[in-house]
């Protein structure tokens, strides 16, 4: 359900960057979604269709690459893959972690045509 | 042409949030973002808490509401002042909405800013407002499966308030399930039991707030001039 909020934020950023770089039309947008952010690709694509309307990205495609999660135990420094509902360190049995990967949504690149 | 960006989405929001955080720090106050499902008791708790903090400590409030001013009206009597943000179609607050509200608020006299987010357990978690702490409320009538259903917001929380605990004996609610689910997300996360109607847990909650404020503003705390 938060895909729409994310798509709106994404599009603001994309249009800003396109302007700075003199793009007149956007063909492809690539994002990396961390697993822990629970972005459902199909829902995100739907939201994207709504926000690209009547912009220079109206014909653009959205490429979504999901990033697997990785966390590090603050107590014993062991690195492990957490589950959405389970951040327990396999060694310490405590959930006291730093998330190294999978907690961010990153705009990787924008591909498009330059003005003239 | 391909433009490589590699920037976090919502970076714009986060930059404004960082500015808000500076404003809070300079004003020597603690900013609290209250997040929960609709109707879990945020406004009721805010009313009681603000009254409880008086007269020594004063609170300014920012309330996000889809349409009405009902919540803001309820908070006016004891708050230093109240800013209402009508979020319209949006199911969460943005940092820039908070920034705009701050311009009209008397934050230099305040010890706390309480931000009541829009009732929603998902989207508010995506948008940093510049708060110092996130307090997530879970009310007994919502059921004991909510931590498992919305783990992300509980993982982001600095404190969980289990609200409406006066209904614990009346409704079927497995406390241990909630405690265990939270332990698996963040073993250090504190859970306080609160009833705004019966007053249970108010002392601990107010002490938690005061301690957090002390810890955050510390040396920057306001001096009372004689
Ligand atoms: N039994 C019981 N009811 C409560 C308690 N706190 C609040 N309520 C009731 O719960 C209902 C919702 O309370 P609010 O404080 O308006 O909840 P809210 O989270 O601000 O609601 P929204 O802003 O609409 O999301 C009201 O009918 C309150 O009287 C409590 O401690 N115990
Ligand atoms: Mg309310
Ligand atoms: Zn460990």
Domains and their CATH numbers in chain B: 2-217 (3.40.50.300)
> What pLDDT score does A72 carry?
98
Whether the CB-CB separation of B35 and A41 falls below 8 Å is answered with: no
pLDDT of residue A74: 98
pLDDT for A1: 62
**Residues in chain A, pLDDT under 70:** 1
Q: Is B2 within 8 Å of chain A by CB?
A: yes
pLDDT in tens, chain B (226 residues): 999 999 888 888 899 999 999 999 999 999 999 999 999 999 999 999 999 999 999 999 999 987 778 888 999 899 999 999 988 878 899 999 999 999 999 999 999 999 999 999 998 988 999 999 999 999 999 999 999 999 999 999 999 999 999 999 999 999 999 999 999 999 999 999 999 999 999 999 999 999 999 998 875 555 544 3
The pLDDT assigned to B225 comes to 42
Q: B159: Cβ–Cβ under 8 A, 6 or more apart, which residues?
A: B133, B134, B135, B136, B189, B190, B191, B192, B208
**B133 touches B29 (CB < 8 A):** no
Q: Which residue of A16, A107, A109, A116 to mutate against B (max B Cβ within 10 Å)?
A: A107
| Nearest in space to B40 (alpha carbons), one of B127, B153, B129, B183 | B153
- Report domain extents, chain A: 2-67+102-114
Site to substitute for ligand 1 among B41, B61, B118, B199, most atoms within 8 A of C-beta: B41
CA distance B9 to B172: 41
Q: How far apart are CA A77 and CA A97, in angstroms?
A: 9
Question: In this complex, do B9 and A109 lie within 8 Å of one another by their Cβ atoms?
Answer: no
pLDDT of residue B224: 46
* ipTM of the complex as predicted: 0.86
Class of domain A2-67+102-114: alpha beta
**Tally of CB atoms within 10 A around B199:** 12
Tell me how close the Cα of A45 comes to any Cα of chain B, in angstroms. 16
d(CA B78, CA B74): 9
């Amino acid at each position: 359900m938060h895909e729409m909020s994310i798509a709106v934020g994404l599009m603001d950023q994309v249009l800003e960057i396109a302007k700075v770089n003199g793009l007149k039309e956007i063909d492809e947008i690539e994002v990396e979604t961390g697993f822990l952010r629970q972005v459902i690709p199909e829902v995100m694509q739907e939201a994207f269709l709504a926000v690209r309307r009547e912009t220079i990205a109206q014909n653009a495609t959205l490429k979504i690459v999901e990033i697997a999660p990785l966390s590090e135990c603050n107590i014993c420094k062991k690195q492990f893959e957490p589950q959405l509902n389970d951040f327990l360190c396999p060694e310490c049995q405590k959930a006291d972690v730093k998330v190294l990967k999978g907690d961010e949504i990153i705009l990787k690149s924008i591909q498009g045509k330059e003005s003239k | 042409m391909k433009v490589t960006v590699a920037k976090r989405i919502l970076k714009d929001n986060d930059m404004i949030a960082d500015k808000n955080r500076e404003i809070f720090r300079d004003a020597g106050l603690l900013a609290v973002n209250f997040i929960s499902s609709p109707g879990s008791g945020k406004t009721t708790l805010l009313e009681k808490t603000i009254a409880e903090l008086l007269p020594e400590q004063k609170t300014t409030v920012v309330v996000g509401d889809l349409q009405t001013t009902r919540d803001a009206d309820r908070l006016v009597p004891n708050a230093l002042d109240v800013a209402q943000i009508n979020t319209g179609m949006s199911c969460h607050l943005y940092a820039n909405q908070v920034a705009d509200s701050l311009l009209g608020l008397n934050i230099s006299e305040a010890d706390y800013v309480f931000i009541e987010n829009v009732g929603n357990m998902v989207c508010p978690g995506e948008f940093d407002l510049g708060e110092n702490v996130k307090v997530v409320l879970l009310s007994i009538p919502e059921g004991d499966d909510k931590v498992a259903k919305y783990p992300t917001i509980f993982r982001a929380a600095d404190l969980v308030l289990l609200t409406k605990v006066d209904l614990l004996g009346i409704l079927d609610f497995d406390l241990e399930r909630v405690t265990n689910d939270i332990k698996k997300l963040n073993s250090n996360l504190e859970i306080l039991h609160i009833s705004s109607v019966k007053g249970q847990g108010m002392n601990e909650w107010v002490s938690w707030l005061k301690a957090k404020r002390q810890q955050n503003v510390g040396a920057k705390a306001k001096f009372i001039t004689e």
